[in-house]
Amino acid sequence: MLGRLGALLAARDIPYEKGEPMARRTTLRVGGPADYLVEARGALELAAALQAAKEAGEPALVIGNGSNLLVRDSGIRGLVIVIGQGMQAVTREGETLYAQAGATLARVAQIAQAEGLSGMEALSGIPGTVGGAVCMNAGAYGTETADVVVSAEVLDGEGRVSNCAAEVIAFGYRSSAVAAKGLAVTGVSIRLVPGVPEEIGAAMRAYAAKRREKQPLSLPSAGSFFKRPEGCFAGALIERAGLKGVSVGGARVSEKHAGFLVNTGGASAQDFLDLMELIQARVFSASGVRLEPEVRILG
């Protein structure tokens, strides 16, 4: 049916790549090929690609910046749809910013600062898109996506559009109903509060300095690899288990922050999976805590 998928995409004038390595599409820089990959240039094209996959009987996966993904070396079957550069517009209405799903959190934060709107400062350094942030309720330094999002426009697998209020999105810790139901975010309404641009900028620079000081930003990673266990921090548990700097192949526990697993060059997805299992076993043995991955493991 894969050949049929290509024909259906072509019939809808949707450009696609065959066998695109997902290592090019994830911040971990690992992952095998996608059977088909489309960069959606707009919500209508996204809906059309989803419909083509359904008609071909193939699975479809929608991703943003790939900053929270670990794709197996065998790759991804069916269709991967990347929210492309044509879906990055940000507009203002009162104290609300409407951002298309492909806009990065950094860009939204910069626009908010320029507009004198506060609330995005702590999220400004997360290397993801607003669509992805809604799916996983991304957060940093005490602020979560749930704190600023009032609603999101989503597509289901049939390509039908609906508008979900925050209570329907049902944000949880690094989770949402949007992700659980396999919905694709196309746009997000973000409610902020008035602020002084200079003060907002100073706060953003302070958060950026914290990141540079404590996080391994010079090497490919997926951010915090594990969810935060109740009452403690994953990085601290990993460090106490004596795993800081431990490597499997090209995957390593960062010496700078043990909660980050980094690609030192040439790592495979299996290296990260093996390192993840080693960490889980050693931390459980040392502390009785079972770490759960925060990254989505696909393929």
**Alpha-carbon gap, residue 256 to 111, rounded angstroms:** 31
- Hunting for tokens 């995957």 — which residue is that? 251
Distances (CA, A) of 129 to 67, 126, 247: 9, 9, 30
Q: What is the DSSP letter of 229?
A: P
- Closest residue by Cα to residue 76 from 32, 39, 40, 46: 32
Identify the pLDDT of residue 134.
96
Contact between 65 and 26 under an 8 Å Cβ cutoff? The reply is no
Q: How far is 72 from 288, CA to CA, in rounded Å? A: 28
Q: What is this structure's pTM?
A: 0.92
Concerning whether 294 is annotated as a catalytic residue, the answer is yes
Q: What is the pLDDT of residue 1?
A: 57
The predicted structure's pLDDT at residue 158: 79
**Helix or strand holding residue 258 (H, E):** none
Exactly one of 118, 151, 189, 224 is catalytic; name it.
224
Instruction: Choose, from 25, 29, 174, 282, the residue flagged as catalytic.
Output: 174
pLDDT at site 160: 86
Q: Is 174 a catalytic residue?
A: yes
What integer pLDDT is reported at residue 157 of this predicted model? 78
For residue 82, the surrounding DSSP H or E stretch is strand 76-83
175 included as an active-site residue: no
Residues in the chain: 299
Name residues of the chain where pLDDT drops below 50: none
CB atoms within 10 A of CB 28: 27
